[in-house]
């Protein structure tokens, strides 16, 4: 969440968070590092209305062609967390 908070504090919206773009490096059993990748669709949040990203994870306002903000990234994280909690995603090892 620190990385996403940093992006949002600079007015940047990732717009394509999905499991493939979240990199997890395990250093020890309880010590890991999470990084965000693939910034091709990232953009400043001045005026966003473009349909983009991965439809399976995208917030409703993106696919309804409504203006959106950094909050769409929070939606994306929520969808990913839900899928992990309910074992709908397989963890790559």
Active-site residue list: 16
Distance CA 22, CA 7 (A): 14
Instruction: Work out the number of other CB atoms within 10 angstroms of the CB of residue 73.
Output: 24
* Residue 26 bridge partners (DSSP): 32
């Amino acid at each position: 969440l620190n990385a996403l908070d940093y992006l949002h504090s600079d007015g940047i919206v990732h717009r394509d968070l999905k499991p493939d773009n979240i990199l997890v490096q395990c250093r020890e059993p309880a010590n890991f590092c999470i990084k965000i990748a693939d910034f091709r669709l990232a953009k400043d949040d001045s005026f966003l209305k473009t349909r983009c990203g991965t439809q399976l994870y995208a917030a409703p306002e993106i696919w309804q062609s409504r203006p959106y903000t950094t909050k769409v990234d929070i939606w994306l994280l929520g969808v990913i967390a839900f899928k992990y909690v309910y074992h709908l995603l397989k963890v790559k090892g």
